[in-house]
Chains A and B, each alone.
Chain A
Amino acid sequence: MLTRNHKPAAPPAEADPELEFDAAAARSSPWRLVWRKFRKHKLAVAGAVVVLLAYVVVVFAEFLAPTSTSTSDSTLTYAPPQMVKVDLSWSDGLQMYVNGYRTERDPETFEQIHTLDPDLRVPLRFLPRGDSYEMWGIIPWDRHLFGAAHAKDKVFLLGSDRQGRDLLSLIIQGSRVSLSIGLIGVAVSFLLGLLFGGVSGYYGGAPDTLIQRVIEFLMAIPTLPLWLSLSAAVPADWGPMMRYFAITTILSVLGWTGLARVVRGRFLSLREEDFVTAARLDGCGRIRIIFRHMVPSMSSHVIASLTMAVPAMILGETAMSFLGLGLQSPAVSWGVLLQEAQNVRTLETAPWLLIPGVAVFVTVLAMNFVGDGLRDSADPYKQ
């Protein structure tokens, strides 16, 4: 049988066990919580690193590319990629080099065939002098990160194209157009999407119906014919810069619809949230409710869908340029570069022309991983 023990001693000190547990979380701002959740998504973090590196390349393209886009050597067209080798026996420490090319003619077709000659050594070095350029259009310089030690030597680490240009340099320089078109295009469609989605979701009724029908109309048009007709409307005499802006506009005018739907959906669901009701009852005006309560609550969702929209834009540009509807040589973008790989016969002799496709693939994949991670961590309060 049981008996009761002692009389109770003094009650315990008034502790707040539950508030001490996560004092850090209690004071963390929503963005820190998003970050904490995002960090656990390994693939997304890896993707973020890749994307970040890609944009570093965009910013320092001239410096990172061994040569400028206009440097070509008509004697070395379709030269195969060279492997960087290191000679440890060199008396002054390490010596990096590539094997030079030996050129022969095909006895039947008389085409030049370049093969790597193991006896030839072309020395490489960091920060060699090369083509001069103006960094960001202002700082004149002629050093590059990596390249042939002597400016007269030709080095094609990823091979050369039809005109004997260095593919590596082209990819690096082309990233500028390809990756920025995504950002700018998304920025424009973000504004459109936020505006129309917001009006649609917040006001509802007739404006909503109208905007939704327009979105459905735009989404129902097959993309390719639309691109065709829109780019046909771009005057042929426009320079590369103008063409670039035209393409961006085409992409973003078609791209805002998805975003507008996300924004509208969030607005509709947030309108019913208790805390929005509370804000209304607190006497907040419409503007305050939208910008202080609703927009912050959906910003992370919007960012997530933006991240997903950037790769779509990049693919759009690539596809248009590949089809010859977008940018054209001498402008350089990944799509333009891939245009060269259209011919099966060239692909057979120079399969490295597909390498720009790898760049597109890796970047788009990385961006999608980031988008996935952001989408999962966008709402740190959901259990």
Chain B
Amino acid sequence: MPTTEASWERQQTPPRQNILEIEGLHTQFELDDGVVQAVSGVDLAIARGEVLAVVGESGCGKSVMARSVLRLVDRPGRITGGQIRVRTDDGAADMVSAAPETVREVRGKRVAMVFQEPMSSMSPMHTIGNQIGEAIRLHERVTKAEARARAVELLGRVGIPAPERRVDEYPFQMSGGMLQRVMIAMALSCGPQLLIADEPTTALDVTTQAQILDLLRGLQEETGMAVMLITHDLGVAAQMADRVAVMYLGTVVEEGRVEDVFRAPRHPYTTALLRSVPKLGSGSRERLRPVRGMVPHSYRRPSGCPFHPRCDEFMAGRCDVTVPEPLRDQGRPGAVSCLLYEEHEEHEEHEETTP
């Protein structure tokens, strides 16, 4: 994506250093009844220290995309194309083609992941201290005692009270919120440069969610790691992210700075999503204007723009025929994939770009 790089570098004063670049990623699931294109040509990049929220409804491919980054897609899923470049000490590793050793090296050490269900990603048979220690010892040569000391320190950092005591507890002895903290501690154990958090607070209550989001924010600022936050909750995205990517049926339909996307959404899907959520504190009882229809079944990807059957701005003969390309705008970083817009040469001044 040379254009992206170029435009970003012109935009932002410290030159962007991407630690993850996804280009043309395709991941599909070959099922008995057909092929599901879970991720269908995604381009994304995350710079050092940036928080990118990937939002979308269930089935939009956001989780599969995130798992693809760590090559965690299990059969019958398969990455069928594209590149996933993770910055390493000596350049970049392409996770799509990298050797298994490189993939293991990247997992945990460079890129760590936190999942929605902390319980199912931990072993019920081992104490949490052992599990964190194990994660550390996988990448670093330390003694068991050192690993344990590190585990206690990490638990303290993620706000678990009395970490010296709780390090010896088993996962079933902890609540969902505490376990999510443990997961985060484990993810942080090797100081990753990117943390992928896949719906980290979806299973949690709202007050616990606030605690975990606070924690993530604090840790991100403290360590300077980048965060890719996968969420269906627009509120979480708005509160956490620097940039947002909106996904629909395996493609990124709009992407940009969080203020731009939420204040002046361009893609009709983003607009529709935002107005589907009752806004807290508005006191409005006006009828909601939801997106029409339903997400199409994954075997039946619509022709042209994937959103066209549900789009209020559908243009017959265009949207159902032409697949929109991501369009970029110099006045506003990011891109939108919609045929409503056209790229112009930069000679007139901004008309519509600023909110």
Contact = CB atoms under 8 A, between A and B. Distances in A.
Do any beta carbons of A and B sit within 8 angstroms of each other in the complex? yes
B331 A18 contact: no
Interface string A1-43: 1111110111110011110111000000000000000001000
A17 B350 contact: no
Interface in B300-355: 300, 302, 308-309, 311-317, 320, 327, 329-331, 336, 339-344, 346, 348, 350-353
Given A17-B297, A21-B296, 7 more contacts: A1-B353, A3-B342, A3-B351, A9-B314, A11-B314, A12-B308, A18-B296
B227 to A, nearest CB: 28
Contact of A17 (B33, B266, B293, B341): B293
Contact of B312 (A3, A6, A8): A8
B330 A1 contact: yes
Contacts of A20: 300
A5 B342 contact: yes
14 contacts: A1-B350, A1-B353, A2-B336, A2-B344, A2-B352, A3-B341, A5-B315, A5-B341, A10-B316, A12-B308, A12-B311, A12-B314, A17-B296, A18-B295
B125 interface: no
Interface residues of B, number: 38
A12 B318 CA distance: 12
B172 interface: no
B343 A2 contact: yes
Ranked nearest first, the 4 interchain pairs of A and B with the lowest CB-CB distance are: A8-B313, A21-B297, A17-B296, A2-B341
A22 B33 CA distance: 10
Contact of A2 (B295, B309, B313, B342): B342
B348 to A, nearest CB: 7
A12 B351 contact: no
B294 interface: yes
A40 B32 contact: yes
A9 B327 CA distance: 21
A21 B36 CA distance: 13
B299 A21 contact: yes
B160 to A, nearest CB: 33
Contact of B315 (A8, A17, A21, A40): A8
A299 B225 CA distance: 53
Contact of B348 (A1, A9, A22): A1
Contact of A21 (B300, B346, B351): B300
A12 B352 CA distance: 27
Nearest to A22: B297
B344 A1 contact: yes
B297 A18 contact: yes
B320 to A, nearest CB: 7
B113 to A, nearest CB: 22
A5 B339 CA distance: 8
Contacts of B351: 1, 3
A16 B293 CA distance: 7
Contacts of A6: 315, 340
Contact of A4 (B32, B294, B295, B340): B340
B316 A17 contact: no
B294 A2 contact: no
Interface string B61-99: 000000000000000000000000000000000000000
Contacts of B32: 40
A17 B302 contact: yes
Contacts of B348: 1
A328 B174 CA distance: 63
Contacts of A21: 296-297, 299-300
Given A18-B295, A18-B300, A3 B314 contact: no
Nearest to B346: A1
Contact of A11 (B266, B312, B339, B341): B312
B321 to A, nearest CB: 12
A144 B320 CA distance: 68
Nearest to A15: B309
A164 B320 CA distance: 80
Contacts of A9: 314-317
Contacts of A22: 33, 297, 299
A11 B350 CA distance: 30
Contacts of A8: 312-315
A202 B33 CA distance: 37
B344 A3 contact: yes
B301 to A, nearest CB: 10
Nearest to A17: B296
A40 B33 CA distance: 11
Contacts of B312: 8, 11
Given A2-B329, A17-B300, A12 B340 contact: no
Nearest to A4: B340
Given A18-B295, A21-B296, A21-B300, A3 B316 contact: no
A291 to B, nearest CB: 32
Most buried by B among A2, A6, A9, A12: A2
A6 B319 CA distance: 12
Contacts of A40: 32
Contact of B309 (A3, A10, A12): A12
Nearest to A16: B293
A3 B352 contact: yes
Contacts of A15: 293, 309
A20 B336 CA distance: 30
A19 to B, nearest CB: 9
A316 to B, nearest CB: 37
B296 A12 contact: no
Nearest to B348: A1
A17 B344 contact: no
Nearest to B339: A5
Interface in B225-255: none
Contacts of B350: 1
Contacts of B327: 2
B333 to A, nearest CB: 12
B353 A2 contact: yes
A3 B336 CA distance: 12
Most buried by A among B300, B320, B348: B300
Nearest to B300: A21
A9 B312 CA distance: 9
Contacts of B308: 12
Contacts of B33: 22
Contacts of B344: 1-3
Nearest to A25: B33
A38 to B, nearest CB: 12
